[in-house]
Each structure stands twice: as C-alpha cells, then as structure tokens.
Amino acid sequence: MPDFYGTHVPSRLMLGTAQYPSPAILAEAFRRSGAGIATVSLRRETAGGKAGNAFRELVGALGVHVLPNTAGCHSAREAVTTAQMAREMFGTDWIKLEVIGHADTLQPDPFGLVEAARILAADGFKVFPYTTEDGILAERLLEAGCEVLMPWGAPIGTGLGLNNVYGLRTLRAQFPDVPMVIDAGLGLPSHAAHAMELGFDAVLLNTAVAKAGDPAMMAEGFARAIEAGHLGLEADPMPPRDMAAPSTPMFGMGLLS
C-alpha cells in the first residue's frame, strides 16, 4: 500500500467528496470502496457556517485521512492563502495543490504551481501537486519540496481515461521511487486498472463515482479494478509480441494419418 510523507495509507483509492446526490450516498461510496483518503474543497465547505460544520462532521465520521485541496485557485498567491486556511480548518499539513492555468481544460499553470509548492513546502506543508505528465515540471516540483506527484490522466471531469500513456509511462520510469497518484480524468474502472498496471501507486476519483447512476457500486467497482491492476503488475506480466505464439507446443503432438 502507498506511503505518503511517512504516512501509510491502507488503500490505493482516494475519493473526492463533491457532487454526490446525498450525504448518505457519499458515506456508502466510501464504505464500499475502502478508500483511505478523502479530498475536500475548502471553498465549498466555507460557503455556509452550519452547512460547513455538518459536512466536516460527515467527513470526520468516514474515518479516513483528509486531504484539503485548493480547487478553483488560478494564482500561486490564491492557492497559498487557501492552503493556509485549510490547515487551520482541518488541522492537517496535507494539501492537494491546484493552480489552474486554463479555464477550459483546467490544465495546471506550471509556473504558478511550482511557485506555490515552494512557498508551501517551506512553510511545513506536505504538498500533493496536481500536475501534468511533464517530466521537467515534475523535477521542478520535487526540487521545490514535493515528495508526491499527482499527474492527470485527462482533464478534470472528462472521463477519458489515460490520454497520454507514453508520457505517463515515461514519467513513472523517470522517477521510480516517487509516490505517484493518477488524478483526474478517469471514467471507468478499467482506466484505474490500467494506471495500476503502469506502476502508479494510487488513483484519485470524484466525478466518475459521484455522477454514476449508483455511486456506491461504482466506487466498489473501482476498488476491485485497482486491486486487479496492481496484482497484474506484481505478477510480472508477459511482454507484448508482434507475432503469434502457440500456447500448445508442437513438439510431441500426435499426428493423424
């Protein structure tokens, strides 16, 4: 199981807490998935005092690690301020860092992301940066003090899966000892299994589960797919071939006359 900043997490599945039809369905999705981390948007939780308190109580009752995020921030300064507020509100140094650079694709702003990561790491935060599969950007984030990377599979909420398998495989090979989480863009359990087969340590989901017809069932499906994909990786799978190879050897076969 993954280890983030010295904390052992008992699941490779991380779930967001937005867009569920009801608090009860959210809680059931977490129960059936066995997810070990819940991401929480500070902006949503501070929209109303009583509502925010009730939601924090609900998340606390899940019995999982809480990972506040800076969703919706479009500058390093805004993200740093949001992270500082989140630390006070949730009592954790963990922060999922988002600095959005493009309104349509929600692609991270690489310059703002590195700037914010450096400031937060120096202030004692344990930063989980939402990034792309760019290896140079990954190196800059690690130099800034990040010990985890969270590359996207596809733009947030699209459900497209792993858009750039070559880039993700290259990133994983470039930093083999860095914990990595595929964050955003997954729509099907098979996408999560593929991420595990590529050697990633965990996946973070929200829309694919929350917007499913049966969120709890979908959450469990993702959990099973993650387990299957990781087992497949650990089993040392056969390499792909360009030519067919018979599964039954020709030598020793009987001949009909």
82 is in an annotated binding site: no
- The response to whether 71 counts as a known ligand-binding position is no
Indicate the burial class of 243 (C-beta count within 10 angstroms; 0-12, 13-18, 19 or more). Answer: exposed
User: Both tokens of residue 168?
Assistant: 């993700």
Distance from chain centroid for Cα 134: 16
CA distances 196 to 67, 96, 115, 176, 232, Å, are 21, 21, 30, 14, 8
| Dihedral angle sign, alpha carbons of residues 229, 232, 237, 242 | negative
The closest of 216, 220, 139, 230 to 182, measured between CA atoms, is 230
Catalytic, 96? Answer yes
Report whether 206 belongs to an annotated binding site: yes
From the candidates 50, 96, 126, 211, give the one annotated as an active-site residue: 96
> Is 207 labeled as ligand-binding?
yes
At position 154, the amino acid (one-letter code) is A
SS3 (DSSP) at 28: helix
Q: Residue 173: how many CB atoms within 10 A of its CB?
A: 11
Any known ligand binding at 216?
no
Residues marked as binding for 1-deoxy-D-xylulose 5-phosphate? 157, 184-185, 206-207
Residues with catalytic function: 96
Residues marked as binding? 157, 184-185, 206-207
